[in-house]
Structure 1
Amino acid sequence: MYDQLRFDYLGCYGHPHLKTPNFDRVAAKGVRFTEAYAQSPVCGSSRMSTYTGRYVHSHGAANNNYPLRVGEITMGDHLRALGMGCWLIGKTHMTVDAEGMARLGLAPDSVIGARQAECGFDVWIRDDGLWTNGAEGAYDTRRSPYNEYLKARGYPGENPWADFANAGLEGNQVASGWFMRNAAKPANIRDEDSETPWLTDRAIDFMEQASGPWCAHLSYIKPHWPYIVPAPWHDLYGPEHVLPAVRSEAEREHPHPVYAAFMENRVAQSFSRDEVRETVIPAYMGLIAQADAQLGRLLDWLEETGRDRDTVIVLTSDHGDYLGDHWMGEKDLFHDCSVKVPLIIHDPSPEADATRGTTCDALVEAIDLPATFIEMAGGEVPRHIVEGRSLMPFLRGEAPEDWREVAVSEYNYAHTPVREKLGVSARDARLFMLADHRWKFVHAEGGFRPMLFDRAADPQELTDLGGDPAHAGVIARMYEHLARWARRDSQRITQSDAQLDRRMRSGAMPKGILIGVYDEREIPDAFVAPYRHDIPTG
C-alpha cells in the first residue's frame, strides 16, 4: 500500500510521462482493476476499512485519529484463525482505543493488547512517517524506528527525519519540506537511507526469516506529503511533465456549499496556483519513480529466491491526491483523483493463468481485500462480519453472481474548520458517495442538495448536475441505493447466517421451551415426556 498514490499516476494506468516499469511488470502478469474505490478519501478511515473489511459506517473510525474500537475484528484475526500470520511493515495510521483497553483490562504489552493497539497486526516494524514538532508539541509522540535508524547511520540531531529526510538545503540552512517551494530541491539524505528504501530493506528482512503462510502489509509512507525526494529522483521530471489541471472556471461559479468550503481552504488555494503545481508535482512523480524502483528490488528478490511462485502480490493505495485538479489539494472529496485507487493483483497459481495481463472494470472496493485474503488462506468469508467480497473469481476469469451495483465511500469532516464554516452540527458533517458505471452521486447531511456527475458524458467530473431537475429520476434511484445500503445488517457480527439457520431449524422444543402450547396433545410425545412424572418426594 502506497500512501496517497493516485490511480492515474502509473504507467500502466495511462500516465503519459511517468515511467513505472515495475508496477507495469506486476500488471502484465496479474489483473489491473480500473474501478477500485477507497471507502473513505482520508488515510485513517480508509485504512480501518481495508483492515476490517467493513464500511466506515460499521467500524466507526470515521477520520484520522478516531480510535478503532476495541474488539473490532480485523484481517489479522481472520487470517491467524486460518493458520496464516499477518504482519505490519510500515504505516497504519491506527489510533488505539485506550479507554476501551483500560475498561477491559487489556495491557498494551500483552499479545492481545498489542494486536488491539496495532489494528490486528503483529508488528515487524511500524512507522507512520510524520515526525514533526510544532508550536504545541509533537504530532506523534511514539518512538520512531526510522529516526533511530537515521541516527545509527550517522545523521545528527534529535529529529533527523525533519532535518534530512524531509528537508533540502538552502546554503547552510535547513529547507523544510513543509514549505512546498522547497519541493524541487533534493532531500538532504542519501537515497538508500530515505524512507522508501528503508522500508523495502525491512520487508526483505521479514521475508528472509518468515516461515509458514504469512500476509505482510508493506505500507509505504510515500508519495504522501511532505513532497520532497532525494537525488536522483528530485529532477527526474520537470514542469514540462506536469499535466494540465483538470478543472474549469464553471466549477467555481455556483458550487455545492460543501465543495465551495473545501475549495477555500489553504491547501486548495495553494494548489490552484500554477507555480505550486509546477514545483510539487515533479517531486510527487519522483517519489513514485523511487517507489517503483524499490518495488523492482522486491520483485527481483522474490524471483531470485523462487518465492515468486508462491507469493501473491497486491499493489494499492489508501486514497489519491487532488494536486490542483478541481481547484483542490489533498483529498477529502470524491472526484476520481481522490477516491479511486490503483489495484493490481498477481496470483501466481495456475488457476489465474487465463487472466494474466488483463483489466477488470467491475466496481470493487478496498474492503474486498480481506475477503480475498481469507479465501486465499483457505477460509470461508464470514459475511456477517466482513462486508467486502472476495475478488478471487475475477482473478480466475469467472463472473461472480449478483455483484454490487454501486461502490460506496464516506467522509466525516466534523473536526475540520469546514464544519464551522458551513454551520452544521458534528453529527451532520458527513458525506456519502455512491458510484455506478454511469453516475457518481454524493449525499451531504445537513439539508444540502446532492451532487451528481454523469461519468459517461463528463468523465472529468466538471459539471455537477445535482441541482438539475432533469436528473431527479437518477437522484431518486441513487437515494434508493443509499437507503438500501444504510439498512444493511452490519452489526450482527456475533451470529452468522449459518448459526441463525441452525437455531431456526432446531426450534425451541428440543430444549424444553414450549411457547404457545395449549394442550400437550398438540405436540409430539417426545416433547411432552419430560413433564410427565409424579411430584418428586423427599
Structure 2
Amino acid sequence: MFDQLRFDYLSCAGHKTLNTPHMDRLASEGVRFSHVYVQSPICGASRMSFYTGRYVQSHGAAWNNFPLKVGEQTLGDHLRKIGMEAWLIGKTHMKAGLEGMVRLGISPDSIIGARLSECGFDTYIRDDGLWAEGPDGYYDTRRSPYNEYLEAKGYTGENPWQDYANAGVDETGDIASGWLMKNADKAANIRERDSETPWLTSRVIDFIEAQGGAEPWLAHVSYIKPHWPYIVPAPYHNMYGHNEIQPVIRSEAERAAPHPVFAAYQQRRIGRAFQREDVRAAVIPA
C-alpha cells in the first residue's frame, strides 16, 4: 500500500510518462482492481474501510486518530480464522480503541489487545512515517524505528527524519525543510539507500527471509510515500518536470461553477499559492 498514490500514476495503469517497472511486474503477476473507489478522502478513515471492508458510517472511524471500535472484524481477523498469519510492516494510521478495551477487560499488552491496536495484524514493524516536531511536541510520541536506523547510520541530531530524510540544503548550507513546499524541488539531504522507501523495503526482505514456510502468511507492506512532505533524495527529485504530469480531468461544469467548498478553498492562502505558475512548477513534479 502506498499513501496518496493516484490510481493512474503507474505505467501499467496507462500513465504516459511515469515509469514504474517494479509495480508493473507486481501487477502482471497479481490482480489489478481497476474499478475500486476509496470510501473516504481522509487517510485514517479510508484505511479503516480497507481493513474492515465496511463503509465509514459503519465502522465509525471517520477521521484521523478516531479509534476503530473494538468489535470490528478486520482483514487480519478473517485470515487468522483460516490459518493464515497476518503481519504489518509499515503504516496503518490506526488509533487503538483503548477505552473499549478497558471496558471489556482486555489488556492492551495482551496478544488480543496488541492485535486490536494494529487493525488485527501482528506487528513486524510499525512506522507511520511522520515524525515531525512542532510547537506542541512530536507529531507521534512513539519512538521511530526509522530514526533509530538513521542514528545507527551516522545521521546526527534529535530527529534525523526531520533534518535529513525530509529536508534538503539551501544555497547557504542551512536546512531546507521539506514541510515547506517551496523546497519540493530540492534533493533530500540523505543517501538514497537510507531514505524511507528503501529502508522499509529492506525490512520486508528481512521478514520474508525469516519465514520458515511452515504457515501461510500475508504481509501488509505499507509505505508512507508519496505522502507529503514532498521531498525525495537524488536522483528522484528532478526525474520529471511539471510538463510531464498529466492534468487533472475536469468537466466544463466544474470550471464554470465549482462546488462552494472548493471555491472557498481556492481563496485560502494555499489555494491562491497554487494559482501561481512558479509554485506549480516547483511543487507539481514532486
TM-score in same-fold range (> 0.5):
yes
1:248 is displaced (CA, Å) by 7.2
1:27 is displaced (CA, Å) by 3.0
> 2: distance between equivalents of 1:96 and 1:209?
28
Deviations 1:428-475 (A, max 9, x none): xxxxxxxxxxxxxxxxxxxxxxxxxxxxxxxxxxxxxxxxxxxxxxxx
Task: Specify whether residues 84 and 265 from structure 1 end up closer, same or farther in structure 2 by C-alpha distance, changes over 3 A only.
Answer: farther
SS at match of 2:17: coil
> 2: distance between equivalents of 1:267 and 1:92?
28
For the pair 1:101 / 2:105, whether they are aligned, the reply is no
Under a length normalisation based on structure 1, what TM-score does the superposition of the two structures give?
A: 0.50
Match of 1:90 in 2: 90
SS at match of 1:88: strand
Match of 2:207 in 1: 206
Map 1:458-537; keep pairs closer than 5 Å.
Answer: none
Greater relative contact order (Cα 8 A, min sep 6): structure 1 or 2? 1
1:22 is displaced (CA, Å) by 1.8
Match of 2:235 in 1: 232
> 1: distance between equivalents of 2:3 and 2:9?
13
Deviations 1:386-424 (A, max 9, x none): xxxxxxxxxxxxxxxxxxxxxxxxxxxxxxxxxxxxxxx
Task: Specify whether residues 70 and 281 from structure 1 end up closer, same or farther in structure 2 by C-alpha distance, changes over 3 A only.
Answer: same
Match of 2:186 in 1: 185
Deviations 1:491-529 (A, max 9, x none): xxxxxxxxxxxxxxxxxxxxxxxxxxxxxxxxxxxxxxx
Match of 1:71 in 2: 71
1:13 is displaced (CA, Å) by 1.4
Report the AA paired with residue 114 of structure 1: A
1:249 is displaced (CA, Å) by 8.0
Match of 2:14 in 1: 14
> 2: distance between equivalents of 1:94 and 1:173?
35
Match of 2:122 in 1: 122
Report the AA paired with residue 105 of structure 2: G
Deviations 1:318-343 (A, max 9, x none): xxxxxxxxxxxxxxxxxxxxxxxxxx
> 2: distance between equivalents of 1:86 and 1:5?
23
> 1: distance between equivalents of 2:116 and 2:77?
10
Map 1:198-277; keep pairs closer than 5 Å.
Answer: 198-210=199-211, 211=213, 212-247=215-250, 251=254, 253-277=256-280
CA contact (8 A) 1:252 1:260 kept: no
> 2: distance between equivalents of 1:199 and 1:244?
31
1:271 is displaced (CA, Å) by 3.1
1:36 is displaced (CA, Å) by 1.4
1:255 is displaced (CA, Å) by 2.8
SS at match of 1:12: helix
Deviations 1:208-234 (A, max 9, x none): 112310010000110111000001111
Deviations 1:57-103 (A, max 9, x none): 11000111111011211111111111100000000000111211222
Report the AA paired with residue 175 of structure 2: V
Deviations 1:137-189 (A, max 9, x none): 22111111111111111100110000000000013211000111111111000
Match of 1:143 in 2: 143
Higher CA-based Rg: 1
Computed over aligned residues only, the root mean square deviation of the Cα atoms, in angstroms, reads 1.8
Match of 1:2 in 2: 2
CA contact (8 A) 1:44 1:65 kept: yes
Unaligned residue ranges in structure 1 (runs of 5+): 284-538
Report the AA paired with residue 235 of structure 2: P
Match of 2:54 in 1: 54
Match of 1:110 in 2: 110
CA contact (8 A) 1:242 1:277 kept: no
Report the AA paired with residue 182 of structure 1: N
1:247 is displaced (CA, Å) by 4.7
CA contact (8 A) 1:74 1:119 kept: yes
SS at match of 1:32: coil
Report the AA paired with residue 221 of structure 1: I
Map 1:371-450; keep pairs closer than 5 Å.
Answer: none
> 2: distance between equivalents of 1:249 and 1:168?
39
SS at match of 1:26: helix
Deviations 1:355-387 (A, max 9, x none): xxxxxxxxxxxxxxxxxxxxxxxxxxxxxxxxx
Task: Specify whether residues 106 and 267 from structure 1 end up closer, same or farther in structure 2 by C-alpha distance, changes over 3 A only.
Answer: farther
> 1: distance between equivalents of 2:9 and 2:281?
15
> 1: distance between equivalents of 2:253 and 2:39?
28
Unaligned residue ranges in structure 2 (runs of 5+): none
CA contact (8 A) 1:242 1:278 kept: no
1:52 is displaced (CA, Å) by 0.9
> 1: distance between equivalents of 2:30 and 2:208?
21
SS at match of 2:235: coil
Task: State how many pairs are aligned.
Answer: 283
Task: Specify whether residues 138 and 153 from structure 1 end up closer, same or farther in structure 2 by C-alpha distance, changes over 3 A only.
Answer: same
Percentage of identical aligned residues: 66
Match of 2:176 in 1: 175
Match of 1:166 in 2: 166
CA contact (8 A) 1:88 1:217 kept: yes
Match of 1:80 in 2: 80
Under a length normalisation based on structure 2, what TM-score does the superposition of the two structures give?
A: 0.93
Report the AA paired with residue 233 of structure 2: P
> 2: distance between equivalents of 1:273 and 1:34?
34
Deviations 1:188-222 (A, max 9, x none): 00111100000100101111112310010000110
Task: Specify whether residues 256 and 167 from structure 1 end up closer, same or farther in structure 2 by C-alpha distance, changes over 3 A only.
Answer: same
